[in-house]
């Protein structure tokens, strides 16, 4: 509420453009579209706070009607007051898995099971890092207690086998192997799945920011300083598009980036306040690293997805076709594989197939994950209507 209040107080001093798509960026100009009209917004400095999207793992049957991302399931509940099903199974890993499951339970939906791919041992190893924010550990324990009290089956260290169902009925159930290797089946009419979040980096890429591979998350991140500065003059990063630190961490990152902009423009900012923000951000980054250790991305599962499983939904490319690009066609990295197979060439531009596709290609070639690179951003970063016209037209 404080953030909204502060923004409302500035209403007469800023140009606010809601429901606007930022679809490209060039030196000194951001390209946007609103109400069917495209225009350029010139800038001396820009803070990119483009957020994040769900990180998904292809599972046989994940394209069936009734399968949603965790974020989509949460939006359905919070924005439309609508559950994705009457009996929902939750699959993935990370705090959001337990949060959304508990929200569905509270809303009256039946939670068939919470199925976490992370092993129990990982949580204990991550405790020293996660102890930096004990209040969040308490909240997480409370969510687990509510789910267990309601009798919800919670399995850790699972290996997904398949989401069952058909095109007419949609989802009818979910099969996994538990940590002991035993096959388990859970009846459900919907599945919500997700493995943390992945930063939206397309605009940072088009702006010329350098990238580095983060071994802990298995993702490519735009290189930046903790204060939001990038290697590109006038381009700053904040929020989940930079590092996923949570809502309060995004506020701190935004204030640090804004302070950097002011300082670079020759405007003084309180040094003590910036120092305090850096200290708070460091604590949140420590907790972030703890979460990634406690709930690791199961790259081994992505690399082993069956050949006939649809990997790229936009272009209907299977994991086998991507493997063939490496073996039979000799694709050395993901952009070459994209050119040969069209994987990641659809409207989502690899947002959902990209991370898993990199794992598949690296395993097929027998090389470390960073060696296969990352899918490069292309404009428009999201689809533009063909009816969009330029402002000066």
Q: What is the pLDDT of residue 392?
A: 77
Cβ-contact 60, 162 below 8 angstroms: yes
CA 289 to chain centre: 15
- Which pLDDT band, with edges at 50, 70 and 90, does 271 fall under? very high
End-to-end CA distance of the chain: 40
Mean pLDDT of the chain: 94
**Full DSSP string of 150-208:** TT--EEES-EEEEEEEETTTEEEEEEEE-TTS-EEEEE-SEEEEEESEEE--HHHHHTT
What pLDDT, in 10s, does the model give residues 281-314? 999 999 999 999 999 999 999 999 999 999 999 9
User: Tokens representing 168?
Assistant: 């007419």
pLDDT at site 393: 63
Predicted pLDDT at 327: 87
Q: Give the pair of three-digit tokens for residue 256.
A: 């640090």
Reply yes or no on whether the pLDDT at 1 is more than 70: no
Q: What is the pLDDT of residue 165?
A: 95
Cα–Cα distances (Å) from 71 to 89, 207, 307, in that order, read 14, 27, 27
Q: Is 330 left (phi over 0), alpha (psi -120 to 50) or beta?
A: left
Tell me, which fold does domain 305-372 have in CATH? Arc Repressor Mutant, subunit A (1.10.10)
- CATH for 56-195 is 3.50.50.60
Instruction: Map out the domains of the chain as residue ranges.
Output: 40-53+203-294, 56-195, 305-372
The predicted-structure confidence for 16-25, as pLDDT tens digits, reads as follows: 999 999 999 9
Report how far apart, in Å, the C-alpha atoms of 364 and of each of 205, 276, 310, 330, 334 are.
Answer: 27, 47, 17, 11, 12
Residue 159, both tokens: 């290996």
**157 has pLDDT over 80:** yes
CA distance 387 to 286: 47
Indicate the burial class of 69 (C-beta count within 10 angstroms; 0-12, 13-18, 19 or more). Answer: buried
Both tokens assigned to 374? 């990352």
Give the Cα separation of 267 and 244 in Å (integer).
Answer: 28
Closest CA to 195 of 323, 356, 64, 85: 356
- Tens digit of each residue's pLDDT (9 = 90 or more) over 222-254: 999 999 999 999 999 999 988 898 889 999 999
pLDDT score of 175: 98
pLDDT of residue 391: 83
**Whether the predicted model's global pTM rises above the 0.95 cut:** no
Give the DSSP letter of residue 339.
H
- pLDDT score for 198: 94
Calculate ∠ Cα 361-365-369, nearest 5°. 60
Q: Check residue 11 and give its pLDDT.
A: 80
- List pLDDT tens digits, range 41-90: 999 999 999 999 999 999 999 999 999 999 999 999 999 999 999 999 99
Classify residue 149 by burial, with Cβ atoms within 10 Å: 0-12, 13-18, 19+: exposed
- Segment 325-332 long-range contacts (CB within 8 Å, at least 24 positions apart): 325/361, 326/361, 326/364, 326/365, 327/364, 331/361, 332/365, 332/372
């Amino acid at each position: 509420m404080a953030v909204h209040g502060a923004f409302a107080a500035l209403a007469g001093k800023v140009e606010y453009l809601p429901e606007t798509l930022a679809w490209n960026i060039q030196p000194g100009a951001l390209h946007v579209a609103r109400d069917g009209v495209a225009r350029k917004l010139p800038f001396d400095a820009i803070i990119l706070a483009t957020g994040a999207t769900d990180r998904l793992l292809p599972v046989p049957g994940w394209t069936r009607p009734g399968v949603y991302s965790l974020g989509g399931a949460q939006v359905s509940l919070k924005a439309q007051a609508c559950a994705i099903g009457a009996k929902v199974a939750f699959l993935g890993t990370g705090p959001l898995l337990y949060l959304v499951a508990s929200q569905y339970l509270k809303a009256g939906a039946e939670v068939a099971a919470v199925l976490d791919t992370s092993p129990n041992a990982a949580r204990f190893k991550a405790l020293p890092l996660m102890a930096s924010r004990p209040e969040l550990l308490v909240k997480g324990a409370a969510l687990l207690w509510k789910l267990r009290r309601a009798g919800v089956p919670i399995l850790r260290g699972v290996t997904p086998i398949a989401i069952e169902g058909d095109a007419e009925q949609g989802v009818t159930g979910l099969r996994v192997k538990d940590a002991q290797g035993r096959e388990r089946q859970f009846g459900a009419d919907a599945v919500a799945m997700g493995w943390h979040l992945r930063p939206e980096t397309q605009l940072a890429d088009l702006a010329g920011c350098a990238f580095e591979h983060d071994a802990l998350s298995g993702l490519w991140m735009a290189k930046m300083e903790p204060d939001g500065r990038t290697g590109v003059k006038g381009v700053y990063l904040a929020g989940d598009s930079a590092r996923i630190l949570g809502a309060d961490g995004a506020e701190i990152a935004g204030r640090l980036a804004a302070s950097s902009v002011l300082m670079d423009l020759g405007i003084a900012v309180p040094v003590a306040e910036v120092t305090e923000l850096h200290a708070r951000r460091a604590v949140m980054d420590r907790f972030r690293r703890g979460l990634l250790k406690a709930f690791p991305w199961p790259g081994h599962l992505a690399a082993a997805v069956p050949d006939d499983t649809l990997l790229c939904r936009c272009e209907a490319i299977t994991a086998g076709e991507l493997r063939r690009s490496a073996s039979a066609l000799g694709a050395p990295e993901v952009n070459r594989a994209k050119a040969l197979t069209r994987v990641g060439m659809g409207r989502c531009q690899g947002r959902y197939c990209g991370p898993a596709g990199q794992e598949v290609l690296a395993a097929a070639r027998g090389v470390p994950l960073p060696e296969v690179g990352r899918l490069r951003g292309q404009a428009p970063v999201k689809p533009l209507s063909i009816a969009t016209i330029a402002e000066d037209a």
